[in-house]
Chain A
């Protein structure tokens, strides 16, 4: 498979993952703004996490920042897929920032709130996938040379 084709597949996969994350983060943001908290079956964990003080930075919901981050990741992945070299760098840094934020949020859930929200875990899984793609990317790009 040719290098540019691998890159296109790679960044398309990244864009799709970011799109999933964007949909989820948008859903959570709307729920927050309309005064509702997403339900996790019969478990109170979502309420404990999404209703906690860690779920917002000032008046801004963390899910809103997440939506912005996912949209940025999607944008950079799309442009990178179309061969914009600078977009690759931005994509990498965006994913690294999201990864760090995810680690912090997982720490908060595990050690401060003692509750895990399924939506947050799903988002963490998406970000780990994106990080995995970023880590795997040099190998894919080396293959081209």
Chain B
């Protein structure tokens, strides 16, 4: 038996490493298995809008968000799930708050990713890694690394982050928000009706959307 013991140990460890690695890989893949088609529409004003879901959706959810705002981060994944569940049209607008040190830079990063058709991927990554870059002294380096992870053209990404076009896009979203009374984040409009602050959380939001769906399609 002792003669075979090293073989048994080595084979056991090999199986454990390969099996454990494969299991961990499956978990990671299923957690990130939402390759989104990033869609950016251009409105008449020349403003770009980041949209998920069909144009003729029964319910349109428009969010004014700040990538550094923790409640926005908590809502990000539930909104993704609700978008799929109800086939919502989701519109994301930048509304970086001045009291968040890296929020504006994060908004620029998302808009720079949008220039390469990866807005929603960067949006998800920024929210997923919010706790990391929010506390970083060099958030910019992290944003560059995220761009690398999303396989963006890094030189173009860096240039776009500082470009007037990207900054103008964020300004336009902020002006639009301010014009319709947005003061805090997240602020959400369902079919152009503002939700109450107590409705904007992962517990209440599904019920609110369900009700909006019923209202929009009373027969179904």
Contact = CB atoms under 8 A, between A and B. Distances in A.
Interface stretch (A27-35, A88-96, A118-126): A27-35
Contacts of A82: 2, 5-6
B136 A42 contact: yes
| SS of B interface (majority) | helix
Interface string B133-150: 111111001100110110
A67 B25 CA distance: 15
Interface string B18-53: 001100110011001000000000000000000000
B208 interface: no
A69 interface: no
Nearest to B8: A78
Interface string A7-51: 000000000000100110011011101111101011110011001
A27 B24 contact: yes
Which size bracket describes the interface of B in this complex?
Answer: 20 to 34
B132 interface: yes
Interface stretch (B9-17, B85-93, B179-187): B9-17
Given A30-B21, A34-B25, A44 B32 contact: no
B66 to A, nearest CB: 19
16 contacts: A19-B13, A23-B17, A26-B17, A26-B21, A33-B25, A34-B32, A35-B149, A42-B137, A44-B141, A47-B145, A47-B146, A48-B141, A74-B13, A78-B9, A79-B10, A84-B6
Interface of A: 19, 22-23, 26-27, 29-31, 33-37, 39, 41-44, 47-48, 51, 67, 71, 74-75, 78-79, 81-82, 84
